[in-house]
A and B are shown apart, each in its own frame.
Chain A
Amino acid sequence: MADLLIQVREVDGVAVMRPEGFINAHTVRMFEDALEKLVAEGRFTILLDCQGLNYISSAGLGAIMGLIETVRDNGGDILLCNLHENVFAIFDTLGFTQLYRVFPTEAEAILAVAGKA
């Protein structure tokens, strides 16, 4: 199995990105490229569905951090859902759960973006 696979689809105007595997210094370029491609296409509301994400290191956090101001300046946001306990611990330990909106499921995140929740 590859270290990282990334799928992207559109749901109600939200770009849902599903990284599967590991985001670390080896795979971060692929993750960063996928995020930058969305931003370049003007897709500024991005939901990271972390169901298949086994771990993310500081390299991956840096990739998200590097784009957060750009997407927010353009009226969008980066949201997170389906975080495994160990991935949540990384975000929470660094205080990033204050910076990013975290949802239990993709459906709840999509509803929140649409202003229905």
Chain B
Amino acid sequence: MRAAADPESFRLVIPSQTRYLNLVTGLAKRASLVAGMDDATAAKVSIAVDEAVTNVIIHAYRGESTHQVEIELRFREEALEIRIWNTGGGLHDEDVVLPDPKEYVKHPRKGGLGLLLMSRFMDEIHFKDTDGRSECCMIKRTPA
């Protein structure tokens, strides 16, 4: 039986294909504006969502296009909460090691920047397994 719909949230399920990134990031940006954020902050939230969904498609699902990525946007009184689930496996909080930007700039290489952008652009990021699925939860507080 499905749980009663939460009037403060909505969910989107997309195939694990990068062609839908633009759609999801556009939605995240609009949701951020609805939550009361300014354009610059909304753009940062949309980038964080791009990075999180890209991580799922490229790393958790290894680029396989036949899986699903589920995204929930929840409007809390003081924040916008975004949860992204996949069944391909994921990170846990203790696994996350962010690169040092200063070292990165000294020794340029491809990759490793997505998590850093997520952590800088959102107020909180958490990874965990829940109900057999991997979850990334990102929180951006809204202006008082």
Contact = CB atoms under 8 A, between A and B. Distances in A.
Interface in A22-73: 22, 24-26, 55, 57-59, 61-63, 65-66, 68-69
Contacts of B120: 93-94
Interface of B: 18-19, 21-22, 25, 39-40, 43-44, 46-47, 50-51, 54, 57-58, 101-102, 104-105, 108-114, 116-117, 120-121
A94 B101 contact: yes
Could you tell me the dominant secondary structure of chain B's interface residues?
Answer: helix
17 contacts: A24-B18, A24-B54, A25-B58, A26-B19, A55-B47, A55-B50, A62-B111, A63-B110, A69-B108, A86-B40, A89-B40, A90-B47, A93-B101, A93-B120, A94-B117, A95-B101, A98-B105
Contact of B113 (A3, A94, A98, A99): A94
A25 B43 contact: no
Nearest to B50: A57
B40 A99 contact: no
Contacts of A99: 105, 108
A26 B104 contact: no
A12 interface: no
A62 B110 contact: yes
A96 interface: yes
A107 B3 CA distance: 59
Interface of A: 3, 22, 24-26, 55, 57-59, 61-63, 65-66, 68-69, 85-86, 89-90, 93-96, 98-99
Contacts of A68: 108
B40 A58 contact: no
B44 A89 contact: yes
A26 B40 contact: no
Contact of B22 (A24, A85, A93, A94): A24
A61 B21 contact: no
Contact of A55 (B25, B111, B112): B25
